[in-house]
Chain A
Amino acid sequence: MVELEVDNLKVHFFTSTGTVRAVDGVSFSLKGKSLGIAGESGSGKTTLGLALMNLIPSPGRIVSGSISLDGNNILQFNEEKYRTEVRWRQISMIFQGAMNALNPVYTIGHQLMEPLKFHSELVGEKARKKAEDALREVGLDASMMQRYPHELSGGMKQRVVIAMALILRPKIVIADEPTTALDVIVQAQVINLLKRLERELGISIIMITHDLSVISELVDIVGIMYAGELVEIGPAEQIYNNPKHPYTQKLLNAVPRLHGKRTKLESIPGIPPDLKSPPPGCRFHPRCPYVMGICKVSTPPYFTFTDQKATCWLYKEKA
């Protein structure tokens, strides 16, 4: 069972117009479970995922914090060690937008076998066989090996990308908006596929999405990100049925529900803050309906409720 521990992770982008604090002090731990990370666009979800792969593009940099995987602080690995020991071998990723995740000039087979080439001793016929098995695992025919990405439909490409992420049997798979570009039917197929693979292979999935309804089916723990911070984290059921942070409550009200009482869909007034100069205190305070004096000056710590925690001053007395 994999243990992932992220502590006070900060990723900043040093642009010519200022420092963008894309991920600003995120901590969570994961023990053999699946995690869902939700939040609006620009809240730092994708950056968090890339930080776990140590693939923050320039001018971004992980400025502080630690990521430990089974007790090793992998951020202290040098680039070569990270590439050979962590990337794809222990943590792999299903990228946002499968349409562009495959190189158009290489065959599906070539791209599937690439991780095998750099991470295992499997070569030639054995590698081919393994890649074919990976394709069958996601419900594709082995004849896809010779095809080029443009010959596949969106759903098929997404399956190939999933097969690619699973081919080395990593401990953790980060799925960054794996269903965003797909129509609802294919979306459901992909979710079911991920669910099945999670169960059968015993891997932990870190699902990054803006669509809360997608995570609810798939993960044990849900974390809510707002403006580079993890504002609430807890068991999925708790988050859905008893959200603590006002932002989580608002976010849930913005998602249509099939069950339970019918309410009008709400939007959250205002826009997410500019991460170059986030508001002081609680970053959500300019949009929060329950804003108090303290929210504007002091950053709230986590207030814990059994296994759920949220950063909101509302719970100062109750805690």
Chain B
Amino acid sequence: MGLGRFVVTRTLNLVLVLFAVLLLTLAFAGPATDNVLKRQVESYVRGDISTRCNMLRPPSFCGDANLIKQQMEEIKQREIQNLGLNDPWWSPKRLGYSIYSLATLNLGESYFLRSYGGSNIVRDIILEALPKTILLFTTATILSLIIGLLIGIRAARKPGGILDRLISTIGVASGTVPIWWVGIIAIVFFSYTLRIFPARATPLIPPSDPAYIPALLYHMTLPLLTITLLGFGGWAYIVRNLVIGIMQEDYITVAMAKGVPERGILYGHVLRSAAPPVITLVVLSLSGSLGGALITEAVFDWPGMGRLFYTAIGALDIPIIIGLVYVSTAVYLASIFIIDVLYGFFDPRVKAG
């Protein structure tokens, strides 16, 4: 199968998955959204009529309470009709419209939450949180990856040595403690006892101030260190296990016999063979890092995707929840697509398709 055909079929496949996830999200949120919207219409109509009845020359129905009720019901039904809310959320017409809007990244307006710029457009709110998450979590992921890779390779050179045993312990230990818990401890220790880092990760000065960027970097040091230090051990452990496994392979002995120097073996033969699984993990964790971390961001008060999710769920801001689910799903599926294509390049045994 050619690469072109592979790309087309794989894309179609992933788009289908994306739609399935959207349908599920809509199924969860649909009934609630309908109620909220209908109530919004009602309160709007009520306000409108009371304004009109308080005018100097009120319309004739204002004198009779029954007439007011009748009038209100009439306008309400008309508005619902106009907005298309008389069809249930699962009707093909409304579903089609919802999916079309989401696919074109028209994520609608939030109920309660606002962006720092004051916008209530969901897309604006998400686009404001995403760079913050990239700044903290993607940076931390890349850092722990590089450190883990280098240390893991070193540890694998002497299995059972001091570095190896240390790394294995750190790797397992750091994998078992939750980041948010260590985060709380770190805040207590570094912010309240030692007072060297701020306790909250968001600077108080407005983003327009030129001092904002250094302040932000200073504020993110503590969460960045915490996430990186807890992350690299796991990476080192994975890389160490992969490398030790590959070092046992016959073709590594052959390469040594051929006179390939140790560096060439480690950074050539071994890493090249370890590339496919490592790349899978790298792409997945990079794309995973874009979603931030719900509790960790809440603990560090970091204004990223995770905290947005956290607040949106707390406030039941359904458009934002749907928007976030959509964006994370799309990112995840895109990364799977990237892995599929990369895999074929790094492992000749797996031809794309």
Check B56 for interface membership: any CB of A closer than 8 A. no
A102, B349: Cα distance in complex, Å: 13
Q: Which of B312-353 contact A (CB under 8 A)?
A: 346-349
Q: In the complex, are the beta carbons of B250 and A148 less than 8 A apart?
A: no
B200, CB-defined interface residue at 8 Å: no
Contact B259–A101 (Cβ < 8 Å): no
Q: Which residues of B sit under 8 angstroms from A150, Cβ to Cβ?
A: 348-349
Q: Is the CB of B250 within 8 A of A119?
A: no
A95 and B250 within 8 A (CB): yes
Contact between B259 and A118, CB atoms less than 8 A apart = yes
B64 within 8 Å of A (CB atoms): no
Chain A 81-96, CB within 8 Å of chain B: the 1/0 string?
A: 0011001110011011
- Nearest residue in A to B276 (C-beta to C-beta)? A105
A123 CB within 8 Å of chain B: no
In the assembled complex, B65 has its CB within 8 A of some CB on chain A? no
Q: Which of A57, A87, A104 is close to B259, meaning CB atoms less than 8 Å apart? A: A87
Docked complex: B235-258 residues within 8 A CB-CB of A: 249-258
User: How far is B256's CA from A53's CA once the two chains are assembled, in angstroms?
Assistant: 9
Is A115 an interface position by the 8 A CB rule?
yes
The CA of A140 and the CA of B8, in the complex, are separated in Å by: 37
Q: Do residues B249 and A100 form an inter-chain contact, with CB atoms below 8 A?
A: yes
Residues on A with C-beta less than 8 A from B251 are 100-104
Establish whether residues A83 and B346, one from each chain, have CB atoms under 8 Å apart when the complex forms: no
Q: Closest A-chain residue to B264, C-beta based?
A: A118
CB atoms of B259 and A119 under 8 A apart: yes
Residues of B within 8 A of A114 (CB): 255, 258, 260
Please, how many residues of chain A have a CB less than 8 angstroms from a CB on the other chain?
30
Task: Known contacts A100-B251, A101-B254; decide if A115 and B259 are in contact (CB<8 Å).
Answer: yes
Specify the chain A residue showing the minimal Cβ separation from B256.
A55
List B contacts of A92 (CB < 8 A).
257-258
- Give the residue name and chain of the B residue nearest to A164 (CB): B258
List of B residues within 8 angstroms of A118 by Cβ: 258-261, 264
Query: B273 touching A103 by the CB < 8 A rule?
Result: yes
CB neighbours (8 Å) of A95 from chain B are: 250, 253-254, 257
Contact of A104 among B254, B255, B258, B349 (CB under 8 A): B349
> Is residue A106 within 8 Å, beta carbon to beta carbon, of the partner chain?
yes
Given the interface pairs A95-B250, A95-B254, the reply to whether A105 lies near B272 with Cβ below 8 Å is yes
In the complex, A40→B260 CA distance in Å?
32
Tell me, in angstroms, the Cα distance from A164 to B260 when the chains sit together.
Answer: 14
A97 to chain B: closest residue by CB? B250
CA distance A96 to B256 in the complex (A): 15
Judge whether B258 and A115 touch: CB under 8 Å: yes
Q: How far is the CB of B282 from chain A (nearest CB, A)?
A: 17
CA distance A153 to B255 in the complex (A): 21
The residue on A at minimum CB distance from B252 is A103
Q: How far is the CA of A22 from the CA of B257 in the complex (A)?
A: 20
State in angstroms the CA–CA spacing of A92 and B258 once bound together.
7
A95 CA to B272 CA in the complex, in Å?
Answer: 21
Q: How far is the CA of A107 from the CA of B252 in the complex (A)?
A: 15
Given A87-B258, A114-B258, A115-B259; A103-B348 close (CB under 8 Å): no
Q: Does B269 touch A at the CB level, under 8 Å?
A: yes
CA distance A107 to B272 in the complex (A): 12
- Give A148 to B345 CA distance when docked, in angstroms: 13
**A53 CA / B273 CA spacing, docked (Å):** 24
Provide the B262-288 mask, 1 if CB < 8 A to any CB of A, else 0.
Answer: 001000010011010000000000000
Q: Cα distance A148–B251 when bound, in Å? A: 14
Q: Are B255 and A105 in contact (CB under 8 A)?
A: no
Q: Which residues of A contact B253 (CB under 8 A)?
A: 50, 55, 57, 95
Contacts of A97 in B (CB 8 A): 250
Report B259 CB to chain A, min CB distance, Å.
Answer: 4
**Closest B residue by C-beta to A102:** B251
**Complexed CA–CA distance, A237 and B261 (Å):** 42
Most B-side CB within 10 Å, residue of A55, A105, A106, A119: A105
Could you jot down 24 A-B contacts, CB within 8 Å? A50-B253, A53-B257, A83-B259, A83-B261, A84-B259, A92-B258, A95-B254, A95-B257, A97-B250, A100-B250, A102-B251, A103-B251, A103-B269, A103-B273, A104-B251, A105-B275, A105-B346, A105-B348, A114-B260, A118-B258, A118-B259, A118-B261, A148-B348, A161-B254
- If A101-B254, A148-B349 are given as contacts, then 17 extra A-B residue pairs at C-beta distance below 8 Å, sorted by A number, are A55-B257, A57-B253, A88-B258, A88-B259, A93-B254, A97-B250, A101-B250, A101-B251, A103-B252, A104-B273, A105-B348, A106-B269, A106-B272, A114-B255, A118-B259, A148-B348, A150-B349
B interface residues with partner A (beta carbon < 8 Å): 249-261, 264, 269, 272-273, 275, 346-349
